[in-house]
Amino acid sequence: MSSEVLEVHKARVRALVESDLETLDQIVADDLTFTSPHGTVLTKPMVFDSVRSGKMNVTRMDVEDVVVREYGDMAILTYRTDTTYTDNDTLVDGSVRSTTVYLRRDGTWKLVAAQQSMIKE
């Protein structure tokens, strides 16, 4: 398991909760594709605009069950998150299963794709 990509992932989660766009900008690739638990597809500018405007506000992300699979300059992380956040007028509050893809570009891990699915419990 790559501790380097896992540390980058943890830093991204912290930055989301803290609305730290400077850190997120270093971690998130310009060509990001993010699919929300409700099926909305967002780009990096869309996500950042939502965070800046307060339309996306992450208040909790408790990550567990992380599995890292690294393939050279690509890593796929799957994990469960107990989370609370707003996305426009939609509240996401509960358990989410996530898959994220990081690519190593110029020696740095960058998030290029993420998809979330709500877990019905």
pLDDT tens-digit readout, 73-82 = 999 999 999 9
Distance in angstroms (rounded) separating the CA atoms of residues 83 and 63 = 8
**Which domains are delineated in the chain?**
3-118 (3.10.450.50)
User: CB count, 10 Å around CB of 18?
Assistant: 11
Give this prediction's pTM. Answer: 0.91
Whole-number percent of the chain with pLDDT over 90? 74
pLDDT tens-digit readout, 7-61 = 999 999 999 999 999 999 999 999 999 998 888 899 999 999 989 998 888 889 9
Name beta bridge partners: 6: none
